A and B are shown apart, each in its own frame.
Chain A
Amino acid sequence: MPHRPFCEQDLLFFGATTASVSHELKNVITIINESAGLLHDFASAAERGRPLDPQRVKKTSLDISRNVERAVEIINRLNRFAHSADEPVRAVDLNAMVRDVVALASRFAGLRGRQIDAVVPGSAVTVSAYAFGLHQVLFRALGLAAEALPAADPIRLDLEPTSGGAILRISRVPIDLPEQARARWGELVASARELGVNVVQSGEGRDGAIGLVVPSAAP
């Protein structure tokens, strides 16, 4: 798969991704802060003679643990994304990549009241690719789908292994793309082609699909 120097679009994508992740992380830290504060409030109330409710204390401390786990997951996801630019070609676990990109895209989609449903196979699907480029192409494809689908329709993404690699298929995208999506189509095809990924449309009418055909190995 061809590698190219970092360009402005890459930097914009990197910036948007890290901004989104930092926002998500701050929310989780804020919850941990409030839960810790609540425990402090319970203790202060107990010092003033108010009975302590052990169940409430346990629940609040479990909330803190759960949100710490959530924060770790977010940081791990950011770390994987940061390392995706390390090498021009390496083994990419597409299952993990789909989960990471969908988590990122879901934040943006969620702000518009939209959901992304992703289905990955039970066993790992790996290709040899430029990981950062693939992240970006999939993210762009999901953005295009968000423009093309009627408002509030969920976006459906399936990862399908093939003999030659894999297909990332976004369903229910009309064949006749609306105007705002058509501009994105050209950008998507161009950026995918640089990575050796084919972008295809299939189906008919409103029941179309966009497929990202990812080869198993870099050309």
Chain B
Amino acid sequence: MMDKLRVLLVDDEEELVFTLAERLKIRGVDAQAVTSGKAALEAIEQRSFDVILLDVKMPGLGGLDVMKRIKARDRKVQVILITGHGSAEDGAQGMQSGAFDYVMKPININDLLTKLQAAGQATREGR
């Protein structure tokens, strides 16, 4: 039996990130939520994840900086970016910087789950 998908959610909007984590847990995902880039880097020191779901725009350490540092520590983990901008350009730019995929706010949970599963598989196959 396959282990649960382990996802770290990172967004400075506390209500959003904890509600989203709860919805993913209901769907059988091992989801952990943090509200800053700094907390994300601390979390990946404590345990490994299959996918990092990361907001692009955060105070202090922004999403793309966090992604760079995560990838420096664990090259194989896949990152999905959350973008709040109206156009898909931010997401496309993020993918050029190394993200596996992106989702736009407001988030479609089924779309997100499909992308998380794909990213998680890519991480596990890469390890």
Binding site for B on A (CB under 8 A): 22-23, 26-27, 29-31, 33-35, 37-38, 41, 45, 60, 63, 67, 110-113
Contact (Cβ within 8 A) B23 A113: no
**Interface 1/0 per residue, B77-89 and A, CB below 8 Å:** 0000000111000
Say yes or no: A111-B57 contact (C-beta < 8 A), given A23-B84, A34-B19, A38-B19.
Answer: yes
Contact (Cβ within 8 A) B20 A113: no
Chain A residues lying within 8 Å of B85, measured Cβ to Cβ, are: 23
Q: How far, in whole Å, are A26 and B82 apart by their CA atoms in the complex?
A: 12
Contact (Cβ within 8 A) B106 A23: no
- 8 interchain residue pairs of minimum CB distance: A33-B106, A30-B105, A30-B106, A34-B19, A113-B60, A110-B59, A31-B16, A31-B15
Q: At the interface, yes or no: B44 with Cβ under 8 Å from chain A?
A: no
Say yes or no: A30-B57 contact (C-beta < 8 A), given A37-B109, A38-B22, A45-B26.
Answer: no
Contact (Cβ within 8 A) B23 A38: yes
26 A–B contact pairs at CB < 8 A? Answer: A23-B84, A23-B85, A26-B106, A27-B13, A27-B16, A29-B106, A30-B105, A30-B106, A31-B13, A31-B15, A31-B16, A31-B19, A33-B107, A34-B19, A34-B20, A35-B19, A38-B22, A38-B23, A41-B26, A60-B19, A63-B15, A63-B19, A111-B59, A111-B62, A112-B60, A113-B59
Binding site for A on B (CB under 8 A): 13, 15-16, 19-20, 22-23, 26, 57-60, 62, 84-86, 105-107, 109
* Cβ-Cβ contact count across A and B, 8 Å cutoff: 54
Cβ-closest chain A residue relative to B58: A111
